[in-house]
Amino acid sequence: MAQATLTIDPAFTIGPVRRRTFGSFVEHLGRCVYEGIYEPGHPTADEDGFRGDVIELVKELGISTVRYPGGNFVSGYRWEDGVGPVEDRPKRLDLAWHSTEPNTVGLDEFMAWARKADVEPMMAVNLGTRGVAEALEVLEYANIAGGTARSDQRRANGAEEPYGIRMWCLGNEMDGPWQTGHKTAAEYGRLAAETARAMRQIQPDLELVACGSSSAFMPTFGSWEHTVLTETYELVDYVSAHVYYCEGDNDLGSFLASAVNMDHFIESVVATADAVRAAGKHTKRIHISFDEWNVWDQKRVESYIPSPTGDDWPIAPPLLEDHYTVADAVVVGNLLISLLRHTDRVHSASQAQLVNVIAPIMTQQGGGIWKQTIFHPFAQASSLAKGAVLRTLVDTPTYETAVHGTAGLVDAVATWDSESGELVVFAVNRAQDEATELAVDVRMAGLELVEATSYSHSDHTWQASPEDDTTVLPVANESARTTADGRVTLSLPAISWNVVRLRRA
């Protein structure tokens, strides 16, 4: 059996655990909004049409922030279509997903849902087909107390108090040719700067996110960030990062090592941002909003649903409804490990998306709800990661991948909550065929083993379904024990996500 060791000292920290790391994303795409968070007439729906069973699982999942309303959708969105009497709202063609948007759910409804789900809103403004004026109007509508046209419109629509939305995305993936209103880096950078400057004239303390590359695989990656940040550096707080991973060509070894690429991606964006900082002689640092990330495999037969075409413009067609495997869940857990260990520069993250669309939560129209495999590592990490992220030294055997080069069999991160006295280790085993023995060496006396759990299955392709989402759950790892020299050892199953909790005696 392969053996790995983690060395952890609570004196060496990377930065705080940030609640915003455990954010999600709700876009007007497929069945995410309609039949997802919103389904009037459903047995669990409340007086506003929101599914109560979805809200319960959102809270169980531990979501902190939700990015809204897109995504590609936002680049053609007219926010004012989604406020006021529902019967007066226009239906619009959504070019991003070749659908019809009924505008039954808009800003006011989303904010009502966010309050019920106890999540912080993260709003995106349209810088594809629109610009500075429209961004100022939606900000005025959302955040000004009253006495102006748009703020009084909000009050007339039933929201007496301002929403106080702090975090705003300045467009979405504007480097992508698929984006409505796609722009060059110079064009977008100038527009983002103008928009940010104007928004800060209304509310100086907003937190603003400039669009980074839509993927590290874009030909303009790096140069895009450099140009955009050169224009916007003193006006924004974050630059966005987006990435999705899939197995591809039946290369399980590379897929399990996806976090190696995420680490490199984050470090590349940080290097570019810091290069602009140095060249511009700036004092502050730009951090990362990793506001789209997940596993997404569009080639799977069971989850690939072609987008509508031609004259077919349906409302909320089922799109991108990936069914996730145990291996997918292990990769999602590993990506969370990567985000946590970069907590010094990744200050916010949004798993895309929340319901039905490449999502941890799935619903049936008029019926039940079920958890996908990727629900479980996210829920555990969100619940247990508290305090500070620690520098975790991982001594592990390695293997070679076709895509990411050398990767460790074991990857891990640890958090330490000095108030509760709890240290938590999150670890994955990428070995495909056998368990790996893990020794956790904590350079701190007086810690006792509380519990150890593992998430794995003999068939790593197992998927949850409406009929069965409980066969594979995190279960107690009975191999965990404390040795005479104070270390904790346990056997990590092949292709597994693992959590070890230690507490001060």
pLDDT tens profile 404-420 = 999 999 999 999 999 99
Residue in 297, 255, 295 with CA at minimum distance from that of residue 404 = 255
| Pairing of the two strands 207-210 and 238-245 | parallel
Q: How far is it, in rounded angstroms, from Cα 169 to Cα 188?
A: 13
157 burial via Cβ count (<10 Å: 0-12, 13-18, 19+): middle
Position 344 pLDDT exceeds 70: yes
Percent of the chain with pLDDT over 70: 99
Q: What is the mean pLDDT of the chain?
A: 96
CA angle 217, 264, 1 (to 5 degrees): 120
Name the residues annotated as catalytic. Answer: 173, 292
Provide the total of helices (H) and of strands (E) in the chain, helices listed first: 10, 24
Rounded to an integer, the average pLDDT of 191-196 is 98
**Quick one: pLDDT band at residue 155, thresholds 50, 70, 90?**
very high
Q: Phi then psi for 382, rounded to 5 degrees?
A: -65, -35
Sign, CA torsion 408/349/12/381: negative
Cβ atoms of 204 and 166 closer than 8 Å: no
Q: How far is it, in rounded angstroms, from Cα 478 to Cα 475?
A: 9
Q: How far is it, in rounded angstroms, from Cα 91 to Cα 343?
A: 41
Give bridge partners of residue 20 from the DSSP assignment: none
Rounded to an integer, the average pLDDT of 330-351 is 98
Q: Which residues of 333-349 are buried (b: 16+ CB within 10 A; e: fewer)?
A: bbbbbbbbbbbebbbbb
pLDDT of residue 304: 61
Percent of the chain with pLDDT over 90: 95
> What pLDDT, in 10s, does the model give residues 62-115?
999 999 999 999 999 999 999 999 999 999 999 999 999 999 999 999 999 999
| Pairing of the two strands 99-101 and 92-94 | antiparallel
List CB contacts of 479: < 8 A, sequence separation 6 or more.
Answer: 452, 489, 490, 491
pLDDT of residue 485: 86
Residue in 404, 405, 461, 449 with CA at minimum distance from that of residue 423 = 449
For 466, the token pair is 């409406």
Sequence length of the chain is: 505
Rounded to an integer, the average pLDDT of 38-54 is 98
> What pLDDT, in 10s, does the model give residues 382-407?
999 999 999 999 999 999 999 999 99
> What pLDDT, in 10s, does the model give residues 201-251?
999 999 999 999 999 999 999 999 999 999 999 999 999 999 999 998 889
| Pairing of the two strands 410-417 and 388-395 | antiparallel
Rounded to an integer, the average pLDDT of 113-125 is 98
Strands (E), 296-432: 346-352, 361-363, 369-371, 388-395, 398-401, 405-408, 410-417, 422-429
Least confident of 5-19, 148-162, 306-320, 461-475: 306-320
**Quick one: pLDDT band at residue 446, thresholds 50, 70, 90?**
confident
Q: How far is it, in rounded angstroms, from Cα 61 to Cα 181?
A: 35
Cβ atoms of 502 and 444 closer than 8 Å: no
List CB contacts of 178: < 8 A, sequence separation 6 or more.
Answer: 72
For 201, the token pair is 């004239």
Q: How far is it, in rounded angstroms, from Cα 456 to Cα 496?
A: 5
Position 307 pLDDT exceeds 90: no
Cβ atoms of 233 and 307 closer than 8 Å: no
Residue in 144, 151, 154, 165 with CA at minimum distance from that of residue 208 = 165
CA angle 379, 385, 386 (to 5 degrees): 135
Strands (E), 304-457: 346-352, 361-363, 369-371, 388-395, 398-401, 405-408, 410-417, 422-429, 436-442, 447-455
Position 490 pLDDT exceeds 80: yes
Position 301 pLDDT exceeds 70: no
Report all structural domains of the chain as residue ranges with CATH numbers, in order of start.
2-10+388-504 (2.60.40.1180), 65-302+322-346+374-384 (3.20.20.80)
**Quick one: pLDDT band at residue 427, thresholds 50, 70, 90?**
very high
- Alpha carbon distance, N-terminus to C-terminus of the chain: 32
* pTM, full prediction: 0.97
Position 303 pLDDT exceeds 70: no
